[in-house]
A and B are shown apart, each in its own frame.
Chain A
Amino acid sequence: MATSTNRFVHRTNAIDRLGRTVVYEGDLLRHPVYTRFLHWMVGIFFFLALLSGFGIYLPWIFRFFTPLFGGGAMTRSLHPWFGLGFVIFFGLQALNWLQVMRWTPSDTRWMKRIKSYVRNEEAMEPADVGFFNAGQKMQFWEIVGGCIAYAITGVIMWFPEIFGRVAVAISYVIHDISALVMLFGIFFHIYLSTFGEPHTIQAMTRGTVSEAWAWTHHPAWYKDMTGRDPYEAMEEERQRLDQINIASRGWVPPEQAALSPQPPPTGKDASLPSRTKSWKFWKK
């Protein structure tokens, strides 16, 4: 399969120099300080805008959010400023990631197999998944579109005396829909970066990921960073771990146990020779 990957090219700037990213042996640098700074600023403003917006969106459910911001009138006057922060910092992030977020043919292929991604059918991602996969890119471009919608409709509602009655009535619906789509998306974003794909969040906290994480979730990026084939690297690591297990506690890998002259183990384990669900499918 052709490997065409978007490369994240970053020139160190002043904010990078304010911080520090330690890359330990066996880890790879994923997000520099500048990216992480922007991400968390976007995150802070997103939740401030979301919670203050909830209180205005459906006060008969979310009236308990408005006291957090000093009451209804204060919530209303702060919400546009939170939104402005969100749009500005996400705009900077969009410029930061513009190149690496370009849509490629491999992303189209990824979208076609999204069902097997959701069903966890392959242990490892296809070889052409680069720095970001198509799902991440889709969410990114949705937020770009949402930010444009937020900015336009938000300014209209911020200064209604300039734009008039009908513009406000339309803007308010578009603003709501954009918020609902982003709210829907944020659950996937948080889930996949924490519970759904463990150890992902450290890419945004300390900026580094393990090589195992890289070859599992972003094989083409791994190859780009290390020059090694991700599947061979994984297989090597597997054998290394097997050796440790064999040496330390006399453990026999299931494949070898099946080939050995000893009587096969009894019980349920005998019918379960595979280690992973089906990663070889992608190795060809």
Chain B
Amino acid sequence: MGDRTTLQIQQISAHPGPIAGEGMQRQEQVCKLIDTTTCIGCKACEVACVEWNDMPFQNTMFDNTYQTMPDTNWNYWNLIKFNESEHSDGSFAWLMRKHQCMHCADPGCLRACPSDGAIVQYANGIVDFQQENCIGCQFCVSGCPFNIPKFNPSTKKVYKCTLCSDRVSAGLEPACIKSCPTGCLHFGTKDDMKAMAEKRATQLRDVSGFAGAGVYDPDTIGGTHVIYVLHDVTKPEKYGNLPAKPRIPLSFTIWKSVFKPIGLFGAMLGFVGVVMHYVFEGPRREQPAPPIKQIDPPPPPAGKEN
């Protein structure tokens, strides 16, 4: 793992104890900025993703749109979603959104994962799957608000976009960014990308007449390391089910981190209970038992006998 020198680990799924190397190195938070207003749907990023990650080419699936296939796949991590949207005045908009892992600051997949080290979050914000530790339970699929992790039934492992952690660790930008011909994709530090996105959103509001334009960086999951500039940030659902308030199910936060250990402790009280019963009360013997020689402590005073 040559990337250890440049990719410091910040969080490990289901990991006991401290994280080796945590806080050893100052790391900038990285971020991918996707400006949906300048995306032309050319799919160069889809091809670049497949090329860089050496994934086999997929059969495309025609369902009356220009979308390559209905959804991302375990070996197709990056998909332009084509959405037709009608304005209230009857005019038409064609919304294209590059759909891939959002690299949440508080990742639902990592929260849900029960396998030590199957999902890690690097100090620069990239959330990465380590398939050698994956047990194939697919809880990450349930924990993800964006429906990103995809299961491969033949290997029983889950895969998703790595934000090209291999390229980023070598100081390169992700493959999709490199391929984008319109410059709607940008890569840099989270602060820089956020500033650039806000500037673009202001321009859209003030100059281009998109009153609702804004930056999609949902704080319900602590922000994401992939942010969008949207024409109308109040209705992200129009961009192919982008949730307005993505949430991690409570069962993967409160239940998993708090009540699971408490519940186990409660169940183990049964063991303590029976051991203590044997110590304090002793067994129930078949009758007639042998005569009692001595009871300690002695029985209550006369008059209460039997």
Name A's B-contacting residues (CB within 8 A).
56-61, 63, 66, 71-73, 75-77, 118-120, 123-124, 157, 160-161, 165-166, 168-170, 172-173, 176-177, 180-181, 183-188, 190-192, 195-199, 210, 212-213, 215-217, 234, 237-238, 241, 253-254, 268-269, 271-272, 274-281
Contacts and interface: CB of A to CB of B under 8 A. Distances in A.
A188 B210 CA distance: 67
B286 A212 contact: yes
A280 B287 CA distance: 12
Interface string B268-290: 11110110011001111111110
Given A57-B114, A168-B139, A275-B292, A195 B306 contact: no
Contacts of A123: 284-285, 287, 289
B70 interface: no
Given A58-B264, A238-B287, 4 more contacts: A169-B112, A187-B271, A196-B274, A276-B288
A254 B142 contact: no
Contact of B135 (A56, A180, A195, A234): A56
Interface string B93-119: 000000000000000000010111000
B273 A187 contact: yes
A169 to B, nearest CB: 4
B134 interface: yes
Given A63-B116, A73-B136, A184 B289 contact: no
B14 A169 contact: no
Given A196-B283, A196-B284, A276 B264 contact: no
Interface of B: 14-16, 112, 114-116, 133-139, 141-144, 147, 151, 156-157, 249-252, 255, 260-261, 263-264, 266-271, 273-274, 277-278, 281-289, 291-295, 298-299, 305-306
B263 A120 contact: no
A181 B157 CA distance: 31
A210 B295 CA distance: 27
Nearest to A72: B135
Nearest to A278: B306
A195 B283 contact: yes
Nearest to A235: B288
B interface: dominant SS: loop
Contact of B14 (A60, A76, A77): A60
Given A60-B116, A77-B156, A254 B270 contact: no
B14 A165 contact: no
The binding surface of chain A is classed by DSSP as helix
Contact of B287 (A119, A157, A216): A216
Contacts of B255: 172-173, 176
A185 B267 CA distance: 8
A70 to B, nearest CB: 11
Given A58-B261, A60-B14, A165 B115 contact: no
A184 B286 contact: no
B295 A217 contact: no
B288 A272 contact: no
B135 A191 contact: no
Contacts of B277: 118, 191, 196
A271 B298 CA distance: 9
Contact of B270 (A75, A166, A188): A188
A177 B277 CA distance: 25
Contacts of B252: 169
B260 A216 contact: no
B130 to A, nearest CB: 12
A19 to B, nearest CB: 26
Contacts of A238: 287-288
Contacts of B266: 180, 184
Contacts of B137: 56, 76, 157
A168 B135 CA distance: 16
A72 B115 contact: yes
Contact of A59 (B14, B143, B281, B288): B14
Given A57-B114, A161-B151, A176-B260, A276 B287 contact: yes
Contacts of B288: 212, 234, 237-238, 241, 275-276
A119 B281 contact: yes
Given A172-B139, A212-B286, A253 B260 contact: no
A275 to B, nearest CB: 5
Contacts of B134: 72-73
A60 B283 CA distance: 36
B249 to A, nearest CB: 4
A96 to B, nearest CB: 26
Pick from B260, B278, B298 the residue with the most CB of A within 10 Å. B260
Given A72-B133, A76-B136, A187-B271, A165 B147 contact: yes
